[in-house]
Amino acid sequence: MGDVSTTVIQSAKNVSGSLRVPGDKSISHRYAMLAAIAEGKSQLENFSTGADCASTLECLRQLGAPAQRHDTKVEIEGRGSALHTPTAALDCGNSGSTMRMLAGILAGQPFTTELAGDESLSRRPMQRIVAPLTEMGASILSDEKFHPPLRIKGGTLHGISYRMPVASAQVKSCVLFAGLLAKGETRIEEPIRTRDHGELALQAFGAELERSGNQHSIRGQQRLHAITATIPGDISSAAFFLCAAALFPDANLIIDGVGLNPTRAAILDFLRALGLRITVMQVEEHNGEVLGTLRVQGGGTLGGGRVAGRQTADMIDELPVLAAIAPYTREGIEIRDARELRVKESDRIASMASNLRAFGAEVEILEDGLRIPGGQQLHGAKLDSFGDHRIAMAGAITALRAKGATRIRNSGVVDISFPGFFSTLETLVER
């Protein structure tokens, strides 16, 4: 990205106040894509304001599904299962979610599409979706390491039984979307349970799925119908403010309308175990997705903890901000089984270690994670976002307790998921 914006974060004494976070990115992507292949006009409230989801909407427009946007309300005119041939390559921007999940729908279209992305996305491997979609009957061309751009020659797909080698909610959604357009039944088994936004979205649009443990099956060639839905606030965005509150004994935050899907809420249990007081209020359910208001209060000294196995998969997007507060805990935090972090918008293991060391922190890099001792005192630093929105936001949270000012270079990348993040944080900070 060409953005060279710099944000300065001063150390803080406390955080308090109330806020709303943008609509959930994962749900926004999936609702938009399914709305495009549904019959009728879908109306989606609280749609994510992030650049990634804007990339999805633009791709859908190029495929002949008009998407009108009014602030956080989006209307999408569905095409049924038949999209239009695009006149140029589809630009996914920085969004791996757009590329991986839309590929499943494009594999079932009777035309050829090219999916491209920015410099960061062009470094991310796509073999995980190429393998099952090829097995289903699509033809996909890329370089020898399966990097974008992807040239997808779609057509008639057939159902498969697929055992996913690596847990990935995006790959699961990709294969389910392809399975929806295929002949016969598609079965997927995941090694450990991942977030189920794709399954819930398919059911919201009227598709029938069978789910048993880590196995999922969908019957092909079902028709979807348009929906009217409100998208919950993104808990991965809320996590930055939860962790900010964890740094201050007198913190008091209210976060309204946050998604509390059980496959995403592990961060709440982990932070409670560290010592943060979190109360859930006003719980509602919309299209199978649970949301509520969180009251967050500092709990004094933070303990420490270890993230591994299924917990790592459940909190994959929250791991950067857990690493960000780890030096301030009493016992430190160890993160394992997180190789997935190496192939995100940046190598998040290396990026987090580099920025924490800039603060003066001691960090041990592991092959599959990080070990960060507790009880550390940090100083202000010059950080790089590494072109990664979560790394930029995580750096801002560490900076709140560091002594002196911190400068975050290329900070504009936060717009990928949370436009206005820094100004929202400033409204809550007491100095």
pLDDT digits (tens, 9 = 90+) for 218-254: 999 999 999 999 999 999 999 999 999 999 999 999 9
- CA-wise closest residue to 325 among 248, 431, 424: 248
State the pLDDT at residue 2.
44
Asked if the structure places residue 1 within a domain, the reply is no
Residue 344 placed within a domain: yes
- 347-405 tens-digit pLDDT: 999 999 999 999 999 999 999 999 999 999 999 999 999 999 999 999 999 999 999 99
Our measurement of the distance from residue 292's CA atom to the centroid of its chain's CA atoms, rounded to an integer in Å, reads: 19
CA-based angle 292:296:302, to the nearest 5? 135
Average pLDDT value for residue range 270-299:
95
Q: Is the pLDDT of residue 1 over 60?
A: no
* Backbone φ and ψ of 383, nearest 5°: -115, 160
Residue 217: pLDDT band with limits 50, 70, 90: very high
**pLDDT-above-70 percentage for the chain:** 99
H helices of 227-371, where? 235-246, 266-274, 310-314, 319-325, 348-358
CATH number for the domain spanning 283: value is 3.65.10.10
Domain that holds residue 388: 6-23+232-430
Residues 14 and 43 in one domain: no
Q: What is the mean pLDDT of residues 275-295?
A: 95
Residues 255 and 360 in one domain: yes
Mean confidence (pLDDT) of the chain: 95
CA R_g for the chain: 21
Task: Count other C-beta atoms under 10 Å from residue 273's C-beta.
Answer: 12
Residues 274, 140, single domain; the answer is: no
> Is residue 322, in this structure, part of any structural domain at all?
yes
Structure tokens at 237: 């965005």
- Is residue 392 within 8 Å of 324, Cβ to Cβ? no
Structure confidence at residue 299 (pLDDT): 75
Q: Which of 209, 230, 251 is the last residue of a domain?
A: 230
Number of structural domains, the chain? 2
Q: What whole-number distance in Å separates Cα of residue 301 and Cα of residue 246? A: 9
Q: In angstroms, rounded to a whole number, what is the distance separating the alpha carbons of residues 128 and 332?
A: 34
**At 77, is the pLDDT very low, low, confident or very high (cuts 50, 70, 90)?**
very high
Residue 277: inside a domain: yes
- Minimum mean pLDDT among 40-44, 119-123, 305-309: which range? 119-123
Query: Would residue 237 count as lying in a domain?
Result: yes
pLDDT at 43: 98
H helix and E strand count, the chain: 13, 24
Do 199 and 247 have their domain in common?
no
Given a contact cutoff of 8 angstroms between Cβ atoms, the answer to whether 312 and 319 are in contact is: yes
pLDDT over 80 at 345, yes or no: no
Q: Of 230, 263, 281, which residue sits at a domain end?
A: 230
| Residue from 24, 91, 317, 388 carrying the catalytic annotation | 317
Question: CB of 368 within 8 A of CB of 344?
Answer: no
Same domain flag for 319 and 266:
yes
- Domain end among 230, 259, 277: 230
Domain match, 97 and 112 both = yes
Whole-angstrom Cα distance, residue 372 to residue 387? 23
pLDDT at 300: 78
Domain identity same for 220 and 247? no
Say whether pLDDT at 91 is over 60.
yes
pLDDT at 343: 73
**317 in catalytic set:** yes
Q: What is the pLDDT of residue 359?
A: 98
pLDDT of residue 342: 83
